[in-house]
């Protein structure tokens, strides 16, 4: 493995050295006073990262983002409940499958490839039936499309539904205000813009979500994900008491504490703005190279990653050429276009220089693939935007 390789995929991302040092530290007991303080502080900090209401409840559990999705569905759905899945790609399909597994009747509102579903369509659909919850993928990592969820909470409340947003490829990078936007669950994983190696499922639930959980008539069908097991544990650490249900991923939690501290030191507004600029710069570079992107309009393109079609005559062998220049980018994920595009992640500690290194590597790899590249065109377009950083 080349340790000087730059990892520019949409998760896992590059991690800050201070975060990695926390991973390498001596592992304390999960009930040692110093670990209790670290876990409690990380939970408190996450609420600030999510701009969540004071009475919301954070959960951090060993597992990946899929577990966070599973936890939301397992605890909120009872057999026979109706769920609306707003589907903008691969992870919408996954959410629909998870909800069905817990006995929900699932309706999907599926966007055209590269497009989003308008919120008035969501409202219209929520008005047709009594839905228990509606799920939206904030940024679908397979298409690079971002849904504007600023009105989702209000629309869901008006129809008596809970709102669940999958922020795995968005949280701590894309603008999100859980309190102001009144979203019931925002969920994510550690390995993306939260900036911690893979292994933590993270979510923050509103008071209303917890009340809906407490009002269940049937037991939660998933033992590990059951909030009856986790609520007392999370509350204990928040109150700086040790407690045990299943062993926490101690070093990952210590790394999370470091990363959350860094995120809050940068400030959420500054962080949203930096991700916007980095993304604008990278996308401008791709346009300058006359490469087409998957999102149908710039306004719905995510800031956390860029999804780019290969130009005519170029195929997935481009990825190997980019890697020879020291940068790792990802192949396609969406079933319908898997072999026709590639994906570049730019979130977390990503810098202007990382963007330039990536654009430079792509320019060279394209030229080697026989694509007529105007040398430096992408770099120049990126530079002119990165100046503002």
Contact string 261-300 vs ligand PMP (x = CB under 6 A): ----------------------------------------
Place of tokens 């893979």: 198
Residue 321 beta carbon to ligand PMP: minimum distance, rounded to whole angstroms: 24
**CB of 376 vs ligand PMP, minimal distance in Å:** 32
According to CB under 6 A, which one of 57, 75, 135, 137 is a site residue for ligand PMP? 137
Please report how close the Cβ of residue 187 comes to ligand PMP at its closest, in angstroms: 8
From residue 333, alpha-carbon distances to 10, 96, 340 in Å are 11, 17, 10
CB of 166 to ligand PMP, least distance (A): 5
Residue at token pair 């991923």: 249
Residue closest to ligand PMP, measured at CB: 65
Closest CB to ligand PMP among residues 156, 203: 203
> 6, 8, 9, 11: which one contacts ligand PMP (CB under 6 A)?
11
Nearer to ligand PMP, 64 or 351 (CB): 64
For ligand PMP, what does the binding mask look like between residues 141 and 160, x meaning CB under 6 A?
Answer: x-------------------
Number of residues forming the site for ligand PMP (CB under 6 A): 12
Tokens of residue 186, six digits: 């925002």
Near ligand PMP by CB under 6 A, which window of 164-172, 230-238, 312-320, 336-344? Answer: 164-172
**Of the two residues 135 and 379, which places its CB atom closer to ligand PMP in the complex?**
135
Q: CA–CA distance from 92 to each of 134, 249, 290 (Å)?
A: 11, 28, 30
Q: Return phi, psi of residue 110, to 5°.
A: -105, 130
* Nearer to ligand PMP among residue 222 and residue 228 (C-beta): 222
Sites for ligand PMP among residues 182-221 (CB under 6 A): 189
Q: Which residue from 50, 245, 57 is spatially nearest to 165, judged by alpha carbons?
A: 50
Question: Of the candidates 328, 335, 152, 344, which has an alpha carbon nearest to the alpha carbon of residue 167?
Answer: 152
Q: Which is nearer to ligand PMP, 72 or 359 (CB)?
A: 72
* Exposure string for 76-109, b = 16+ CB within 10 A, e = fewer: bbbeebbbbbbbbbbbbbbbbebbeebebebbbb
Judged by CB under 6 A, the stretch of 21-29, 162-170, 215-223, 346-354 that binds ligand PMP is 162-170
Based on CB atoms, which residue is closest to ligand PMP, 91 or 213? 91
Question: Which residues in the 54-113 window bind ligand PMP by CB under 6 A?
Answer: 64-66, 91
Residue choice 36, 111, 168, 281 for contact with ligand PMP (CB under 6 A): 168
- Closest CB 371 distance from ligand PMP, rounded Å: 28
Q: Which residues bind ligand PMP (CB under 6 A)?
A: 11, 64-66, 91, 137, 140-141, 166, 168-169, 189
């Amino acid at each position: 493995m080349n340790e000087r390789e730059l990892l520019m995929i949409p998760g896992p991302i590059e991690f800050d050295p201070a975060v990695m040092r926390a991973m390498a530290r001596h592992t304390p007991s999960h009930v040692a006073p110093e670990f209790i303080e670290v876990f409690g502080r990380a939970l408190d900090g996450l609420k600030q990262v999510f701009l969540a209401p004071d009475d919301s409840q954070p959960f951090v559990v060993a597992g990946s983002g899929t577990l966070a999705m599973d936890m939301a569905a397992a605890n909120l759905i009872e057999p026979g409940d109706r769920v609306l899945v707003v589907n903008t790609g691969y992870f919408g399909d996954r959410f629909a499958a998870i909800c069905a597994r817990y006995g929900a009747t699932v309706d999907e509102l599926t966007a055209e490839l590269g497009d989003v579903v308008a919120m008035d369509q969501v409202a219209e659909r929520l008005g047709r039936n009594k839905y228990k919850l509606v799920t939206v993928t904030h940024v679908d990592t397979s298409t690079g499309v971002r849904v504007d969820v600023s009105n989702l909470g209000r629309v869901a409340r008006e129809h008596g539904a809970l709102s669940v947003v999958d922020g795995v490829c968005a949280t701590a990078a894309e603008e999100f205000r859980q309190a102001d936007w009144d979203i019931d669950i925002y969920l994510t994983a550690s390995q993306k813009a939260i900036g911690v190696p893979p292994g933590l499922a993270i979510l923050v639930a509103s008071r209303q979500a917890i009340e809906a959980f407490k009002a269940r008539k049937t037991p939660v069908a998933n033992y590990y994900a059951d909030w009856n097991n986790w609520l007392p544990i999370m509350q204990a650490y928040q109150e700086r008491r040790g407690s045990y249900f299943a062993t926490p991923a101690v070093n990952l939690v210590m790394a999370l504490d470091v990363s959350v501290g860094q995120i809050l030191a940068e400030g959420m507004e500054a962080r949203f703005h930096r991700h916007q600029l980095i993304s604008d710069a990278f996308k401008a570079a791709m346009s300058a190279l006359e490469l087409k992107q998957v999102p149908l309009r710039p306004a719905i393109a995510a800031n956390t990653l860029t999804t780019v079609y290969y130009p005519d005559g170029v195929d997935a062998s481009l990825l190997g050429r980019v890697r020879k220049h020291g940068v790792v980018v990802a192949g396609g994920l969406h079933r319908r276009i898997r072999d026709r595009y590639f994906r570049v992640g730019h979130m977390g500690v990503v810098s202007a220089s990382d963007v330039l290194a990536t654009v430079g590597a792509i320019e060279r790899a394209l030229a080697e693939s026989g694509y007529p590249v105007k040398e430096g065109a992408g770099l120049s377009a990126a530079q002119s935007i990165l100046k503002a950083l």
